[in-house]
């Protein structure tokens, strides 16, 4: 049941007039928060907007939360960066505000264009140090694989060094299956993950790559054949993987969340937290972005592929149990 529909017309700094709207989708189980596996869904919103100056809010693929700025950042496949304000009431998202939108830019200050604008993964630095205005956004790109740091206004800061083979398109199994996800782990440091195993790599392993040729491997269920869409670090040293696959007959999305328990970089255990299918109670689409809000609470967003039959869904949920 759709319970709220809100449109706002305003001046977006740097982007001119925009129309932003969202609707709250009621996702409950007899009036109580819906629980699937180890996930409790707290709220789901459908976002829609048109932004001028070529910054249409479509194909959102990466999320990052700033505690200092109280801002949810999102990047799109088209090289755009969006700032959202989020208001909470009774542990749920009650209001969403699109505050700003920027184009990601290169060293010369020029907005990124195809084929260099395919931003996929997002991680934020200096987001919870009590200092305002010092954040850095770590962005992974897919079509031209690389890892760049940007300011919150989209300006280029610097390259992040990666092994040379990760910067070559030929290293990847398929086009648009490159650096899909990025995070920074408390002990392992920087980690980037391709959507599928590299060309010639073990098909049954998900490899987490770091600088200086560091690599950590996680078992991959070849029968399920999921692609990696996002990775996020937990405060306890574990990792959360967002996995996704598309069933062609009949057409349907399937999404799975897994928790990876590590010890000195070695996998101790893999816990399947939840599996979402199109036939279930949770609206399922092409979920690609994931970020931790605080504690065991997370935001997740879907990439609508700029297709009228798909939606940009923002899900707010929490892990329950051990």
Q: Convert the pLDDT of each residue in 249-298 to its tens digit.
A: 777 899 999 999 988 778 889 999 999 886 677 889 999 999 999 999 99
Better-scored residue on pLDDT, 139 or 213: 139
Residue 248 forms part of a structural domain:
no
Provide mean pLDDT across the span 236-259: 91
Residue 213 forms part of a structural domain:
no
- Domain span including residue 27: 2-199+277-319
Provide mean pLDDT across the span 163-183: 94
pLDDT value of position 200: 92
Residue 74 forms part of a structural domain:
yes
pLDDT value of position 1: 43
Residue 109 forms part of a structural domain:
yes
pLDDT value of position 5: 63
Please give the Cα distance from 142 to 181 (Å, whole number). Answer: 9
Q: Is pLDDT at 15 greater than 70 in this prediction?
A: no
Structure tokens at 213: 């040729």
Q: Is pLDDT at 3 greater than 60 in this prediction?
A: no
Encode the chain in three state secondary structure. Answer: CEEEEEEEEEEECCCEEEEEEEEEECCEECCEEEEECCEEEEEEEEEEEEECCCCCCCCEEEEEEECCCCEEEEEECCCEEEEEEEEEECCEEEEEEEEEEEECECCCCCECCCCCCCEEEEEEECCCCCCCCCCEEEEEECCCCEEEEECCCCCEEEECCCCHHHHCHHHCCCCCCCEEEEEEECCCEEEEEECCCCCCCCCCEEEEECCCCCEEEEECCCCCCCEEEEEEECCCCCEEEEEEEEECCCCEEEEEEEEEEEECCEEEEEEEEEEEECCCCCCCCCEEEEEEEECCEEEEEECCCCCCCCCEEEEEEEECCC
Give me the number of domains the chain comprises: 1
Q: Is pLDDT at 11 greater than 70 in this prediction?
A: no
The rounded percent of the chain whose pLDDT value lies above 90 is 71
Provide mean pLDDT across the span 154-183: 94
pLDDT value of position 27: 87
Residue 138 forms part of a structural domain:
yes
Q: Is pLDDT at 208 greater than 90 in this prediction?
A: yes
Question: Each residue of 259-280: b (16+ CB within 10 Å) or e?
Answer: bbebeeeeeeeebebbbbebee
Q: What φ, ψ does residue 206 adopt, rounded to 5°?
A: -100, 120
Structure tokens at 149: 């740091």
pLDDT value of position 176: 84
pLDDT tens for 86-124 read 999 988 999 999 999 999 999 999 999 999 999 999 999
User: 54: pLDDT confidence band, cut at 50, 70 and 90?
Assistant: confident
Better-scored residue on pLDDT, 277 or 8: 277
Residue 36 forms part of a structural domain:
yes
Residue 215 forms part of a structural domain:
no
Structure tokens at 103: 């184009």
Residue 222 forms part of a structural domain:
no
Q: Is pLDDT at 14 greater than 80 in this prediction?
A: no
Q: Is pLDDT at 301 greater than 90 in this prediction?
A: yes
């Amino acid at each position: 049941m759709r319970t709220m529909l809100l449109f706002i017309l305003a001046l977006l700094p740097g982007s001119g007039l925009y129309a932003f709207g969202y609707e709250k989708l009621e996702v409950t189980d007899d009036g109580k928060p819906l629980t699937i596996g180890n996930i409790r869904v707290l709220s789901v919103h459908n976002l829609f907007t048109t932004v001028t100056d070529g910054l249409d809010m479509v194909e959102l693929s990466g999320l990052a939360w700033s505690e200092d700025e109280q801002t949810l950042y999102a990047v799109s496949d088209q090289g755009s960066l969006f700032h959202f304000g989020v208001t909470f009431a009774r542990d749920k998202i009650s209001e969403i505000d699109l505050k700003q939108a920027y184009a990601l830019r290169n060293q010369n200050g020029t907005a990124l264009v195809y084929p260099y604008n395919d931003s996929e993964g997002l991680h934020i630095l200096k987001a919870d140090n009590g200092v305002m205005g010092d954040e850095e956004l770590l962005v992974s790109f897919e079509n031209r694989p690389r890892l760049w740091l940007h300011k919150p206004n989209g300006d280029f800061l610097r390259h992040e060094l990666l092994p040379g083979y990760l910067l070559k398109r030929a290293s990847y199994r398929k086009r648009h299956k490159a650096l899909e996800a990025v995070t920074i782990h408390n002990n392992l440091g920087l980690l980037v993950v391709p959507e599928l195993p590299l060309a010639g790599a073990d098909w049954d392993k998900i490899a987490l790559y770091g600088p200086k040729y560091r690599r950590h491997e996680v078992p991959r269920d070849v029968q399920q054949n999921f692609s990696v869409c996002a990775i996020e670090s937990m405060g306890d040293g574990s990792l959360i993987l967002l996995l996704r696959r598309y069933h062609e007959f009949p057409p349907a999305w399937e999404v799975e969340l897994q928790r990876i328990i590590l010890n000195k970089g070695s996998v101790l255990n893999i816990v399947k937290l939840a599996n979402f299918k199109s036939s279930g109670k949770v609206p399922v689409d092409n979920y690609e972005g994931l970020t931790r809000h605080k504690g065991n609470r997370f935001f997740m967003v879907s990439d609508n592929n700029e297709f009228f039959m798909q939606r940009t869904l923002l899900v707010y949920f929490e892990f329950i149990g051990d």
